[in-house]
Chains A and B, each alone.
Chain A
Amino acid sequence: MDWGSYLPMILKGAGVTMTITLASIVVGTLLAFFFGILRVEGGRVLSTIALCYTELFRGTSLLVQLFWFYYALPLVGLSFEPITTGILVLAAHAGGYGAEIVRGALSSVSTQQLEAARALNFNRFQTLFRISLPQAIVEMMPAFGNLAIETLKLSSLVSLISIADLTFTAQSIRNLTLDSASIYSVTLICYFAMSLVLMIAIRIIEHFVRRGDVFPRSAHS
């Protein structure tokens, strides 16, 4: 197999995969915090809406969601590039799982902390942003790390809605060369390498988040 001409294609595909993954993680994290906070802090109506969102995206298969939005969005007059649809669906999927992580971490903040905040006359926003979230974020980090890896892996599914990511590129090179063994081995190794890079990045962010932690670890365990 002539790697000289195929390697640039693979790298380009890997770049697309990385772009989609990172964009989905960023948008997904925003969605996760938004809906996770709504679950805990929103009133009955808002938390029910957030519950519906998480159940809908966690309870149905990602591939079904991808195809559904791929065919449904144009019908309501929203025609995006497939890559935008892919990122949005992946992000919404990750956001559903992330919202549960945020909810869990927020509700694990000890009640004493909330009582102390009330005693100090903090309002709800101050309590949330100065007391609960700074402590909860540290708890969330490992779970968000797993979610990021999961998103990278699931991003391979966007190849099925004709986005030229790493998996799609691998498929088209296979169709040209019929050398399945080497192309898929290289692809698997590429994904593994990207996972490792992502893991290291998450460790660095985790370190950064922990350093900004104003409370000693023992205070909330």
Chain B
Amino acid sequence: MMYGYEWDTTTWLTYTISILPIILIGLTVTLKAAAAGFAVALVLGLVFALLRRSRLKVISWTTAVVVEFLRDTPLLVQLFFLYYVLPNFGIVLPAFLTGAIALGLQYAAYTSEVYRGGIEAVHRGQWEAATALNLTRMQTYRDIIIPQAVPRIVPAMGNYMVAMIKETPVLSVITVLEMMGLANMIGERTFEYLVPLTLVGLIFLLLTLICSAGLHRLQKALPKAGIPMR
């Protein structure tokens, strides 16, 4: 994608301006990877959290071990594992998808704890009241537990989303061309690494500041007592 581009490296300013379009393409890849990874983490984390609450000891213990393992091993090695080992089993995925799954797996371990904490933080009296009112398990979750758990879950989830955005550069090692991978490629061609890397760093800083501010607002907008589902 970089053939045909000429970069003006005379001063840092002209250099920055000339590489900005390419870095911005990388930014969209970064955001897409984070969004895809976060979607995986949200769904898989909920699955893990519900499996942990299973009454069958075998299931809840196995899930606990898997979550602990995912949480205590580096994303980079998990990424290599998925990227190099999955094809042995005939599963050949595009690098982007492998990266999103790896990000999602790692963060599912974190989000499952958030879900668990959020569900467990709902007062026991609420469960008892639901039982007293003869609500089914489904109704209890839908009308009583989830609406109250959501405001507790959202801030922690948001923090993990920001953290995930900052971890996407790791995907560049499996040839996903996100911002940092592109910055490194530009550096390899011009032997001038600092300007692209600084630019990428600043964009990340801006991104996290914006996300944190947005999160703060969302947190304030959510009603403390719970959101009505209907």
A residues contacting the other copy or chain, number (CB 8 A): 38
Flag if B77 contacts A187 (CB, 8 Å). Answer: yes
Flag if A167 contacts B81 (CB, 8 Å). Answer: no
Flag if B180 contacts A67 (CB, 8 Å). Answer: yes
A7 located at the interface, meaning its Cβ lies under 8 Å from any Cβ of chain B in the complex: no
In angstroms, Cα B73 to Cα A160, docked, is 17
Q: Mark A128-161, 1 if CB is under 8 A from B, else 0.
A: 0000000000000000000001001111110110
In angstroms, Cα B72 to Cα A63, docked, is 19
Min CB–CB distance B78 → chain A (angstroms): 7
A123 located at the interface, meaning its Cβ lies under 8 Å from any Cβ of chain B in the complex: no
Min CB–CB distance B41 → chain A (angstroms): 16
B200 located at the interface, meaning its Cβ lies under 8 Å from any Cβ of chain A in the complex: yes
A181 located at the interface, meaning its Cβ lies under 8 Å from any Cβ of chain B in the complex: yes
Flag if B76 contacts A159 (CB, 8 Å). Answer: yes
B43 located at the interface, meaning its Cβ lies under 8 Å from any Cβ of chain A in the complex: no
Q: Mark B195-207, 1 if CB is under 8 A from A, else 0.
A: 0011011001100
Partner-contacting stretch, out of A36-44, A54-62, A112-120, A210-218: A54-62
In angstroms, Cα B192 to Cα A148, docked, is 34
Chain A residues lying within 8 Å of B169, measured Cβ to Cβ, are: 61, 63-64
Chain A residues lying within 8 Å of B78, measured Cβ to Cβ, are: 188
Min CB–CB distance A180 → chain B (angstroms): 4
Min CB–CB distance B140 → chain A (angstroms): 32
Flag if B80 contacts A170 (CB, 8 Å). Answer: yes
Partner of A64, one of B69, B80, B81, B197: B197
Number of A-B residue pairs with CB-CB distance less than 8 Å in the complex they form: 106
Chain A residues lying within 8 Å of B170, measured Cβ to Cβ, are: 63, 157
Min CB–CB distance B159 → chain A (angstroms): 11
B193 located at the interface, meaning its Cβ lies under 8 Å from any Cβ of chain A in the complex: yes
Flag if B193 contacts A184 (CB, 8 Å). Answer: no
Partner-contacting stretch, out of A23-31, A79-87, A103-111, A190-198: A190-198
B116 located at the interface, meaning its Cβ lies under 8 Å from any Cβ of chain A in the complex: no
B208 located at the interface, meaning its Cβ lies under 8 Å from any Cβ of chain A in the complex: yes
Flag if A59 contacts B74 (CB, 8 Å). Answer: no
Chain A residues lying within 8 Å of B194, measured Cβ to Cβ, are: 68, 71-72, 75
Given contact pairs A71-B194, A184-B85, A196 touches B76 in the complex (Cβ within 8 A): no
Flag if B73 contacts A192 (CB, 8 Å). Answer: yes
Flag if B81 contacts A185 (CB, 8 Å). Answer: yes
Point out which of A60, A62, A154, A171 has the most chain B C-beta atoms below 10 A from its C-beta. A60
Flag if A157 contacts B76 (CB, 8 Å). Answer: yes
In angstroms, Cα B42 to Cα A159, docked, is 30
Flag if A60 contacts B166 (CB, 8 Å). Answer: yes
Given contact pairs A60-B201, A64-B204, A160-B173, A188 touches B84 in the complex (Cβ within 8 A): no
B209 located at the interface, meaning its Cβ lies under 8 Å from any Cβ of chain A in the complex: yes
In angstroms, Cα B73 to Cα A75, docked, is 34
A12 located at the interface, meaning its Cβ lies under 8 Å from any Cβ of chain B in the complex: no
Flag if A180 contacts B85 (CB, 8 Å). Answer: yes
Partner of A59, one of B77, B168, B205: B205
Point out which of A56, A59, A160 has the most chain B C-beta atoms below 10 A from its C-beta. A59
Chain B residues lying within 8 Å of A157, measured Cβ to Cβ, are: 74, 76, 170
> Using a CB-CB cutoff of 8 Å, which residues 168-214 of chain B contact chain A?
168-170, 172-173, 180, 183-184, 187, 193-194, 197-198, 200-201, 204-205, 208-209
Flag if A170 contacts B77 (CB, 8 Å). Answer: yes
Point out residues on A near B: beta carbons under 8 Å: 55-56, 58-65, 67-68, 71-72, 75, 149, 152-157, 159-160, 167, 170-171, 174, 180-181, 184-185, 187-188, 191-192, 195-196
9 further A-B pairs in the complex, CB-CB below 8 A; given A156-B74, A174-B80, A191-B72: A59-B204, A62-B166, A71-B187, A149-B72, A153-B75, A155-B74, A180-B88, A181-B88, A188-B78
Pairs across A and B, CB under 8 Å, 12 listed: A59-B166, A60-B201, A67-B197, A152-B74, A156-B77, A160-B76, A180-B84, A180-B88, A184-B80, A184-B84, A188-B73, A196-B72
Minimum-distance CB pairs A-B, first 6: A180-B84, A195-B72, A156-B74, A71-B193, A184-B81, A63-B169
